[in-house]
Structure 1
Amino acid sequence: MRDRVGRWPLVGREEELDSFAAALADRECRGFVVGGSAGVGKSRLAEECLGRASAAGFRVGRATASAAAGAVPLGAIAHLLPAGVDLSDPVAGFAAVAERLAAGPGRRRWVLLVDDMHLLDSASAVLLRQLMDTGVLLLIGTVRSGEPYGKAVTALRGGDAVRRVDLTVLSPGQIEELLQAALGGAVARRSLHELSAASGGNVLYLRELVLGALTAGDLTEDGEIWHLAEGRLPATVRLTEVIGGRLATADPAGRPVLELLALCEPLPLADAEDLAPPQVMAALEQTGLIRITQDRRRTTVSLAHPLYGEVLRAGLPVLRRRALLLDQAARVEARGARRRGDLLHIATWRLAATGTADPTLLTQAAVLSRHAHDYPQIVALLEALPEKHRTTATGLMLGHAFFEMGRWDQAEAAIAQADAVAVGEQDKLAVALVRTLNLLWSNAPLSEALAVNDAALNRITSPAARRKLTINEGFMRIVAGQPAQGLTLLEDLETDVGDAPDVDVWLRGAWMKPFALALVGRTGEAATWAERAHAGHRKVDEHALVSHPAVQRIPLVLALTEAGLPDEARREGERTYAELVAADSVVRVWLAVFLGRTEWLAGRPATARRWWAEAAALARSFDHTMALRPVLGGLAACAAVLGDLDAAEASRAEHRTLPPLAPGLLSAGEERLGEAWLLAARGHLGRARAVLTAAALVARSTGHLTGEALLLTDVARLGGAKEVTDRLTALAQRCDGALAPARAQLAAALAADDPDQLLRAADACQAVGAELLAAEAATAAAAAWRRAHQARRASAAAHRAAAAPARCEGARTPLLTTAQSTAPLTDREREIALLAALGNASKDIADALALSVRTVDNHLHRAYAKLGVTTRRELARTLRTPPRVPRPDHQHGRS
């Protein structure tokens, strides 16, 4: 295991490596010094530089300075000195060393790496400087920021002939690149966020965290993506020792400050100085153990690295921890608890110290936590409430917190307790609203949630309260895959949150309304409503019970995609997803679903697969079948068009194990994409079209016009253009935006088999970012021109289509592979040719298609003639049928 993560690829250091290459080529350069804090990767970069010097033909050597070796003159570099040199006279001896090192074949220059150069003894530093000045060697040295060193070592670093680079910690993007390279696969965004936050971008810390998680089985790969178990980020003994050694350098007088920060950071500077005098605080800051932040008139103190707190907390005895927490709570109370977060902090500290706190304080703190969307904190605070202090309001707050964490059963239990003490119409209404929300997302049938809503309607007489339940029903129907019906119930929703009688109910309806608008093809209105809902949510967030405001931008991604603006959808989605990951909102699963759909429609199956794998891992973690069903269909479709048929079948197999449920925000038909494209990849085009046609009818029956258009477009791509052109044209007239007309134009062009029309369709598809559709249209146009003996035009169209594999991430579809013929293949000829190219015997093809063997052979003979081939091997080569690709093997990442 340690071998796997012990030597990671070098990521994010291209600029520094370029600087070293320039130093190596410069005969006047004498040194290259790499500076930075402990663990940022100085040694790894220096080793890479040394390796490149060796590859370039330089003689190389290395030494590691240490405190022990520094106690002996020349101790760190003794093994590099030529034998027999008399160093009793340093002047003559050092000159002899230089002469001997310079000798040798070709008098090649030396490149010497000295790690931890700041620990060198003076004699070694003086000798190395002389060797540098005479041009015998180029020194690569690493030095730790903030460490003291003597004049001799300072001389090694100085002068115009020595280049210096200072390494900073890795950015989150660089961490993602590094982990993907080290683990051999994509890593879930939440896991990246946690590893990035915990390591602070420090490569050493990151490596040890990953090693600890792999060893403990908390970082696992599900066949598509790596993800951390929730709340599990174990370190290694080595990491604890490294950080412990770093903390041990602190002045003992500053230890109480470090311990208190580990429990209560950030702290006002005045509170920290109650435990240590200013000079001790200054020393802690200078050694990089604490960070001082000035925000207007407020100065706060925090630990310089998040892992310092982990190690400090682990070493605190129970009674010491209790005393620190209670003392700090008393300190804040003594100054009046005036700041907004003070009540939350006091309640949290007293609860952690004693297991209890004042009930009023706990409730107030829970409300503050709700405003911060800190759902685990809400649970901790409200579960500590004594039974007699639990109310309908606190029970619903607890139930909603469990809901936001994806813990449906615990949410229902809390809601039931709230219902048991509910009194009056308003309490009963509040319970019904939270209960229906939890039921709907926890895989319960729509009928069960509607029954709760209807029961509340039967008990409630107030017109305002009944309107809230009507909005709630609209919300539920859209969530459950009935956009047209839900939209009818939400048509008169207030356009501004300020006009709404209930903030939470308005936000609920305003979140779902743009989804419905986008799904029925009203994408312009959908985008407007999504922006309106987001602005309204930001305005009232402190008073709202519902999710993080960023969730309001999820339907915007769908609206922008269906409007033919995938680049904007992608940018919006990436930004919003990062915000929801930081908030740890489980609702982000739907954003991952829609981002995968965006990339699928853009013709980028590998990226779509990455997003859908993210969604699948998250949906499995809290048993969210509603999202998992379409995601598994999407994963299978992506794997199929990428030629990874084993992975496609694995996703299909998992899909078949799921209980049948309402489709959720997407059409039930879209979850059959994987089934259809797997059939297509195996050459069963007729069966694939039948699956897609049936799926499109399901989408049509529930009012998912954009989903129906997606499915019918795939029917056209798989040889059924003539059958779907009229319906796609009708849908284009009902859907705004540019994507629907581009789909209809493609189908019409494929049906007509007209090369000019196909190229215009390619232009239309490219304009809406549908790269794979554009490539298929251009490929079909090239084939049509070849059949018309228009070689020049065919070549131009083929050249345009040739860039498709790179832009479309290696996607291979039947339309791309069979459009190479000089005469058009019929649908039946294409289907049989693909099956034969995959290695199926004529009898097997006949059995699969319910034809006679003779009929199969006749069709195959005509296909051979049109394609200009004589054998099945030539047929497979001509059609470039993708081989069966085994699923990625990441076993090397497991212990």
Structure 2
Amino acid sequence: MVSSKVPAAAPGAPAAGALTGRSEDLISAVEALQGGSHVAVFVIGDSGLGKSRLIEAVVAELGAEVTPVRIHGSASLTKVPYGVLGPFIVGLPVQEATSQLAVLRTLWSHLEEEKRATQKPLLLIVDDGHDLDEATAGILAELAAAGWAKLLVGSAARPGLPEPLLQLWFEGIAERHDLRPLTLAQTTELLEGKLGAQVLPSVAEILWEASGGNPMLLNGLLEDAKKDGTLLRRNGVWLFTRHLNSHGDRLTDVVRRQLLLRSPEERQALNLVALAEPVSRELIESVAGGDAVESLIDSELIRLTDSPAGELRLWHTVYGDTLRNLISPARSLQLRQSLLRHMDSEPTSAEGLLRHVSWSIECGAEVEDRQLLRAAVLASRLDQDELVRKAAALVKDPEQQIAARAVIARTLFNASDYGAAQEILDADFCEGESLTSLLTGSLLWAAVMSALSHTPADIMQRAQDLKRAGDRLAKASPENSEAIIAAITERLGIMEAMVLALAGEYPQASAQAGHSGTRPVAHNLEAAFRLSLEAERLLAAGKGLSALAVMSQAIEGAGAVPYELDFLADFLVVRAAAAAVQAGDWQTSESLLAGFVAGSGRSLISFGGGVHAAHGIILLYQGRAAQALNTLSAALEALRLADPQQLFALTAAMAFSAAAEVGAQTKAELFLADFEAAPGALPRYMSSLAAMVVVYGKARLGNYPGAIAELKRLGRPDPEMETAGLEFEALALCLALGDTDSAPRLLELRAGLEGPRPAAICAYAAAISTDDAGDHLEAAKTCEAAELWTFAALAYDAAAHAYRDAGDTLRERMANSQRKRCLDRADDLPGEETAKNDDSLGILTRRERDIVALAVRGLTDRQIAAELQVSVRTVEGHLYRSYAKLNVKGREQLPGIGGH
């Protein structure tokens, strides 16, 4: 959707109100109706995909070229011949009302009057064409085929168009547009247009997933989320403050309208599926009847899964909460009893059990502790915190209550409420009377203590209580003493490896490994954490590719993760991404992040901030400071709500550096304050990076004269440690600040560094040492290949100076041109606010800004289409809308506005 700031489009430009993702359909439909080879355009799609909006956009685009006449289909008149033509044939005698010739003559007379009044060709507009009776459809098809009028018809995919209209398509004189759900990119564009501000990527991901790309459901979810405070704008960023509510007023209205069209048997079947999904088809049919189920499947309200058992689910998952919310407790209990009478066992799937327990709790039915605890664990994995608390609170057995409280603590950990989590876990730590309850929550306890900035030594000293409790339990059960001691020893090993990995204390890790070296690693979790520590050591040594290989091994070997360590996957991905970023392997880092997002689902609200932070750091390292600033700002807002990986301080430091890079003084001051107020629970390597980029940012702002010396000191924190990687990061920042004296030391480090990023920056350092124009050009090309746009610009600038000193003005101009091109790729000139913050460009959607940027660079429409992998027609449509929004006549005026 376009911004409300958009001025009226000029005649001939695409309609400003066209739906996002439908531009090609709009242009093609208009061209078909304007041309001579087509007599009809059919718009086909499921409910909510935007058929009516597209039809209205086509009519608006045609404007004064046609005489629009609207015919409204009606489900109640589907079996009444010519019923929908009533308003046009009111003067027809009753005895002739069923005569096709008489109806056609009367209708044509009415239409001719309208055509004479406007002197424009007729366009018959039919919404809900699937509800037309065959007789009416036949007359409309005859009018179109004879060339007396053109048709614009919208229809549901099921049952589809009546046969006479469909025949026009078979004959090749009608154009058909089958609307598809919006893609993620289109959903993002729509949200940006509606919200008019920066939208956190996870917001688009979650809404797209929940709505299935259906614009009607998307708009309903969006309005409900804004209304109930689930979606808020903080510091210019739209983000979710909690999990999406899918039973708000707008969505409830949509579902109610669907229910009004269904029979009592169908409503019963739909409610049963909503309450019990996934549920056996045979079971639902035994209660509500096979016809009702078949009808709901045909109407795409429920679907049959690919499971061998033939389970039923709602077609749109967001309908579930709404339907369940509409059912009274008494009716819910009645439905539950009717279903239980036909069930011979409890649900076998995890999700089925979760719905079964949730439904039982809602009805006030008794649920045994085993099911409650299992449901609580499953709900915690799906971030259904409300169900976690409800199920855990009903557990009665004292030993199982320890496990139930640990699950609640896990939800608090994910919400970054570490104090509350510690309070629960401290009370139960080492208090269990069985080995299972003794170990329950111990790993989460250690993670919480680490998040609260306790040192590994302190945590492991307190963890000795677990050993003493294990000894007590072993004495009480001599026959199991060996197994108990072994399990406790294994758990302490995992805890030790974990807290060291979380703190990034790789020197101590080596010492500890030597201290306990006679004990082999007995658990894959311990192995994963030990590998993470090795990767941390390699990162500090500048061996990013080796660290990435080690982290890949850790990810592959982690195996099944206990529910209390659900953050482990995030932890491993973040460490792997850090290795890829240091090396400059952008493709691998993006693949890691994309893979994590694809598997996160609802947990993106808890863990998505770290993903966005990683994207922002990649952009900053590439020299795209303006884009990095936007991404890191959004990530910070997400991390304020939930920060399981304690990445807030690093992200604030990077955001401060990005703001300083583009000269955004006020923002930089705010981010610096965030960094200084953040808890210091970062791993050692990340803590060192954060300190370095803060020094760099202060130097960029011009208020840190000792920055170079400070950076070099931070790069070598301990002469006894191998920290070539940290020193490389420090010296790279020194080079970016113009300190060419750092080049010789970088060349000394070059042989031990890994990856295209260190290689490119060291190539620039080598060119500085020779100060040869050709070397500078080669270094610039190497930096370009590594996508380090700021360093490439610096190398081209050095080449231009060398050519100028040599009196070669032609090559000097060439080098300066290349420098400008690299700075364009890096968003803007350092120290200047990005043009993307300009109000005139702020009204453009993301895709429009991308296309305008390429047009400013001089690319043709066809080249832009190839670059963005869209059609030329799409490019033309976006440019037309951009011209109208920016109030310019053509692309020749764009550089004066965008400067992009």
Fold match, TM over 0.5? yes
* Counterpart position of 2:284: 272
Q: Tell me, in whole angstroms, the C-alpha distance in 1 between the residues paired with 2:106 and 2:288.
A: 52
Is the 1:676–1:691 Cα contact (8 Å) retained in structure 2?
yes
1:109-258 map, 5 Å: 109-111=121-123, 113-119=125-131, 128-129=140-141, 131-135=143-147, 137-147=149-159, 159-233=171-245, 237-258=249-270
Tell whether the 8 Å contact from 2:571 to 2:645 is kept in structure 1 after alignment.
no
Shift of 1:635: 1.7
Alpha carbons of 1:651 and 1:63: their partners in 2 closer, same or farther (altered >3 Å)? farther
Unmatched 5+ stretches in structure 2: 7-15, 91-99, 472-484, 835-895
SS of alignment partner, residue 542 of structure 2? coil
Counterparts in 2 of 1:52-451, with a 5 A limit?
52-54=61-63, 58-59=65-66, 61=68, 63=70, 65=72, 67=74, 74=85, 109-111=121-123, 113-119=125-131, 128-129=140-141, 131-135=143-147, 137-147=149-159, 159-233=171-245, 237-295=249-307, 297-325=308-336, 328=339, 331-332=342-343, 334-335=344-345, 346-354=356-364, 356-366=366-376, 379-386=389-396, 388-390=398-400, 395-400=405-410, 402-419=412-429, 421-422=431-432, 433-444=443-454, 448-449=458-459, 451=461
Residues in 2 aligned to 1:756 and 1:458: alpha-carbon distance in whole angstroms: 69
Distance 1:701 1:128, change over 3 A: farther
Name the SS for the 1:39 alignment partner: coil
Residues 749 and 169 of structure 1, relative CA distance in 2, 3 Å threshold: same
Deviations along 1:393-441, one digit per CA (max 9) or x if unpaired, are: 5554554454345442342233223226235899767665432211112
Structure 2 counterpart of 1:168, one-letter code? R
Please, what TM-score do these two structures have when normalized by structure 2? Answer: 0.77
The 2-side partners of 1:641 and 1:804 are apart by 16
Shift, 1:787, TM fit:
3.3
Distance 1:117 1:425 in 2: 67
Q: Aligned partners of 1:208, 1:371: CA distance in 2, in Å?
A: 27
Larger mean CA deviation between 669-678 and 195-204 belongs to 669-678
1:755 and 2:750 equivalent? no
| Counterpart pick for 2:659 among 635, 639, 658 | 639
2:652, 2:672 within 8 Å by CA — same for their partners in 1? yes
Match of 1:670 among 678, 682, 689: 689
Q: Distance in 1 between matches of 2:249 and 2:176?
A: 33
Q: What is the percentage of aligned positions where both structures have the same residue?
A: 21
The one-character-per-residue Cα deviations of 1:544-588 (angstroms, maximum 9, x if unpaired) are: 955464653332222222223112221222222332345458455
Give the superposition deviation at 1:392. Answer: 5.2
Separation in 1, partners of 2:718, 2:103: 88
Q: Which residue number corresponds to residue 480 of structure 1? A: 503
Structure 1 position 209, deviation (Å): 1.6
CA contact (8 A) 2:663 2:701 kept: no
RMSD: 4.3
Distance change in 2, residues 1:255/1:762 (3 Å): same
Distance 2:728 2:763 in 1: 12
Q: Secondary structure at the match of 1:33?
A: strand
Show CA shifts across 1:203-235 (max 9, x none). 012112212222333311223531122124366
Q: Deviations over 1:587-638 (max 9, x none)?
A: 5544443332222212233443354334323321136693111111212222
Alpha-carbon offset, residue 758 of structure 1 = 1.9
Deviation of the 1:299 alpha carbon: 0.6
Greater mean deviation of Cα atoms: 605-614 or 152-161: 152-161
Q: Decide whether the 8 Å contact of 1:648 with 1:674 is kept in 2.
A: no
Q: Which has the higher contact order (CA 8 A, sep 6+)?
A: 2
Aligned to 2:814: 796
Is the deviation greater in 681-690 or in 405-414? Answer: 681-690
Cα deviation, residue 32, structure 1: 0.9
For 1:445-844, what aligned pairs fall within 5 Å after superposition? Answer: 448-449=458-459, 451-453=461-463, 469=492, 472-486=495-509, 489=512, 500-538=521-559, 540-541=560-561, 546-547=566-567, 549=569, 551-584=571-604, 586-587=606-607, 589-622=609-642, 626-656=646-676, 658-659=677-678, 661-664=680-683, 666-672=685-691, 675-676=694-695, 678-679=697-698, 682=701, 686=705, 689=708, 692-693=711-712, 695-696=714-715, 705-722=724-741, 724-750=742-768, 753-810=771-828, 812=830
The total of aligned residue pairs comes to 799
> Shift in Å at residue 457 of structure 1?
7.4
Judge conservation of contact 2:500–2:533 (CA < 8 Å) in 1.
no
Check the 8 A contact 2:32/2:38 in 1, yes or no.
yes
1:312 partner amino acid: L
Distance 1:704 1:629, change over 3 A: farther
Residues in 2 aligned to 1:583 and 1:170: alpha-carbon distance in whole angstroms: 22
| Structure 1: gaps spanning 5 or more residues | 80-86, 817-882, 886-895
Alignment match, 1:823: none
Contact 2:658 2:697 (C-alpha < 8 Å) held by counterparts: no
Displacement of 1:162 after TM fit?
0.9
> Using the alignment, how far apart are the partners of 2:353 and 2:76 within structure 1?
54
Structure 1 residues 330 and 713 mapped into 2: Cα distance closer, same or farther (>3 Å)? farther
Task: Determine if contact 1:375/1:404 at 8 Å carries over to the other structure.
Answer: no
Q: Report the CA distance shift for 1:797/1:270 in structure 2 as closer, same or farther (over 3 A).
A: same
The alpha-carbon deviation at position 267 of structure 1 amounts to: 0.5
AA at the equivalent of 1:67: S
Describe the superposition over 1:347-384 as per-residue Cα deviations: whole angstroms up to 9, x where unpaired: 44433432652123334555666788877655543332
CA distance in 1, matches of 2:294, 2:60: 41
Quick one: which of 31, 41, 49 aligns to 2:58? 49
Q: Do 1:785 and 1:794's aligned partners in 2 also have CA atoms closer than 8 Å? A: yes
1:683-742 C-alpha deviation (Å, 9 max, x unpaired)? 5584654664565455989866434422321221212121x2233234333333332232
CA distance in 2, matches of 1:580, 1:343: 21
Q: Shift of the alpha carbon at 1:301?
A: 0.9
Quote the Cα distance in structure 2 between the aligned partners of 1:543 and 1:764.
Answer: 46
| Paired residues of 1:605 and 1:809 also in contact (CA < 8 A) | yes
**TM-score, structure 1 length as denominator?**
0.78
In structure 1, how many angstroms separate the alpha carbons of the residues matched to 2:643 and 2:767?
44
Aligned residue type for 2:36: R
Distance, in Å, in 2 between the alignment partners of 1:395 and 1:318 is: 28
> Contact conserved, 1:478 with 1:516, CA < 8 A, in 2?
no
Structure-2 separation of matches of 1:126 and 1:22: 25
Distance 1:490 1:112 in 2: 81
Q: Distance in 2 between matches of 1:154 and 1:304?
A: 27
Offset from partner CA, 1:782-822 (integer Å, 9 cap, x none): 233223321222233223223224422335369x9xxxxxx
CA 1:620 to 1:443, structure 2 compared with 1: closer, same or farther past 3 Å?
A: farther
Q: Which amino acid aligns with 1:205?
A: L
